Amino acid sequence: MSKLVERINLTAHAQLEKSLGYTGDRRWVAWHWDSDIGQLMYSDGDDVGAGQAIAWQVFLQHPEVDPIVEPYHLEQEENWLLLDRTSRQFYVGEGQAIQSLLDNPESLRLLAQLDGNTNSIQDTADTVKQTFNQWSQSDAGRLLKTVLPVGVGIVLIAGLGFAAWTWLKPRLQEQLSQTVTRTTFAPGYSCGIGGTGDFSGYVAHEVGDNAPHRWRDRELHLISIYEAHWDHSGGYHPTRQVDIQVERRDRPIILALSAYEPVQWHLRTAPGVKIEKIIINGYYDQAIVGAEGIPVEEYSYHQTGNMLGMIHYNWGEASATANSQSLVAQLQSQTQIPLTSFQGCYRGTSFELK
């Protein structure tokens, strides 16, 4: 077992994560106490949000829990509590170590295997579900889902086996792509120098003149990250810079910028660009430079006591607009415009909007 992450002799009852404010469906989720604002926070590798602070205190003070977790000082920010929702096993570790694990599912799978918390059937089901969900976000997948129920699709993949599915998938996509217009980011897009290599992007099919008439006059673009630099821990959360270059001149833009850690967004615009409004969302304080004359709405929990929506930096999670707490859903509801594009990274330093 790594010295940075330690398994503890504690298991979770069936509804514990919901009691602590987590309603997602990821296998792994971690909680930590943010001493700066006195708030419980959770992270599952894709989403970051506020938990139930009172329930956290009750949990830590329970007579069967307190003797086990007391040495780790979970009431402070340095250590996080990690839960494997399949085995119901808890782990404790340094915040950066656990966040790194959450960002690397293979490491979490290895952790479970080393501790004997593996179930080959469950792991296969989880992998099939993840594969199907990821593929269903693609253009071909969305078209197929209109005629193939999700449950049937998952069973189909599992029944075929992964070897057969690997052979079949590109052929299905090739056939379906004949009727679907693909719109994705060019290969040159990235998270910037010093950023992570997990760029996630989305561009709407119907934009500009192809969009429904009531949406043609404006566009909504979202750029979202977790952090701009790795150098934060405990009560130390320095503000770091992220550069945004906007060259898109087609129509007036509503630009949304979102981050968990404190960020100073540096905006540069090409001649002819019209930004109607900027919305900044975050847990820690967010600021923007270069937005003179542009209305700015800030929703940072640390500064204003209110976040507009959960912080997503992966399109697969951000696109789950059925969740009313999703930032995408909140932005679309507030602006009455469907999302035009999304760019996300765990760590990002510069982005372009062309």
> Are both 265 and 130 inside the same structural domain?
no
> Are both 9 and 76 inside the same structural domain?
yes
- What pLDDT is stored for residue 326 in this prediction? 81
DSSP reduced 3-state for 135: helix
Residue 182 lies in a domain: no
Query: How many Cβ atoms are within 10 Å of 336's Cβ, its own excluded?
Result: 10
Q: Name which of 288, 277, 283, 281 is nearest 330 in CA terms.
A: 281
284 close to 260: Cβ distance less than 8 angstroms: yes
Residue 190 lies in a domain: no
The strand pairing partners of 192, in sequence order, are none
* Residue where the block lists tokens 């002799």: 9
- What pLDDT is stored for residue 344 in this prediction? 93
Instruction: State residue 255 phi and psi, 5-degree precision.
Output: -105, 125
Residue 71 lies in a domain: yes
Low-confidence ranges of the chain (pLDDT < 50): 1-2, 120-121, 124, 128, 131-160, 162, 164-165, 167-169, 171-184, 213, 321-322
- Domain extent, residue 95, equals 5-114
- H/E segment holding residue 153: helix 150-160
> Are both 96 and 38 inside the same structural domain?
yes
- What pLDDT is stored for residue 139 in this prediction? 44
Residue 291 lies in a domain: yes
**Cα gap 218→235, rounded to integer Å:** 40
Residue 189 lies in a domain: no
> Are both 31 and 171 inside the same structural domain?
no
Label residue 245 exposed, middle or buried (CB < 10 Å: 0-12, 13-18, 19+). Answer: middle
Residue 150 lies in a domain: yes
DSSP string of 336-354, one letter each residue: -----EEEEEEE-SEEEE-
**Cα gap 35→99, rounded to integer Å:** 18
